[in-house]
């Protein structure tokens, strides 16, 4: 009987040692809280909105000349027909790397709605490119409300 007790205690001790070794590091409590948070949180790439000529689409992320890695987060607000708009990521040669139809979360028709979309893409062949956010006209299907943001790959 005592043999089984010692085996159980040994197994529990091994589990505790293994858990301790693989536990995440605790923050340094000697640092101010702001430094701990900034060490653990990525810095946001949001800023002043980049606004379409019509004012109907505003993109806050990414900002101009942001380094774009897959996936890239696109955030902002839109006031477009039925809340639907397009996001295209293009390389410097204007080849489309990724395209997505997205929707703004507007509380009512004619109001701005926020959006946040992750765009996945394969490694581009150029060092720069463009992120384009736009809508199609309900009237004639033409491109409107274009926001074009240069990015770096």
Residue 74 maps to a domain: yes
- On whether both 55 and 32 belong to a single domain, the answer is no
State residue 59's pLDDT score: 97
pLDDT tens, position by position, 49-101: 999 999 999 999 999 999 999 999 999 999 999 999 999 999 999 999 999 99
State residue 35's pLDDT score: 57
Average pLDDT over residues 7-32: 74
- Write a three-state SS string for the chain: CHHHHHHHHHHHHHHHHHHHHHCCCCCCCCCCHHHHHHHHCCCCCCCCCEECCCCCEEEEECCCCEECCCCEEEEEEECCHHHEEEEEEEECCCCEEEEEEEECECCCCCCCEEEEEEECCCCCCCCEEEEEEEEECCCCCCEEEEEEEEEEC
CATH number at 139 reads: 2.60.40.2550
Residue 45 maps to a domain: no
* Domain enclosing residue 22, as ranges: 2-40
Quote the number of domains for the chain. Answer: 2
- On whether both 20 and 89 belong to a single domain, the answer is no
């Amino acid at each position: 009987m005592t043999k089984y007790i010692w085996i159980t205690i040994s197994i529990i001790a091994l589990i505790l040692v293994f858990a301790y070794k693989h536990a995440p590091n605790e923050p340094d409590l000697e640092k101010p809280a702001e430094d701990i948070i900034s060490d653990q949180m990525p810095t946001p790439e949001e800023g002043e909105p980049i606004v379409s000529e019509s004012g109907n689409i505003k993109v806050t992320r990414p900002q101009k000349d942001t380094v774009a890695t897959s996936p890239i987060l696109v955030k902002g607000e839109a006031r477009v027909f039925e809340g639907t708009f397009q996001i295209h990521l293009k390389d410097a040669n204007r080849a489309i790397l990724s395209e997505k139809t997205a929707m703004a979360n507007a509380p009512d028709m004619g109001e701005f709605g926020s959006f946040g979309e992750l765009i996945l893409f394969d490694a581009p062949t150029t060092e720069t490119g463009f992120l384009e956010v736009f809508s199609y006209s309900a009237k004639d299907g033409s491109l409107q409300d274009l926001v074009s943001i240069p990015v770096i790959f």
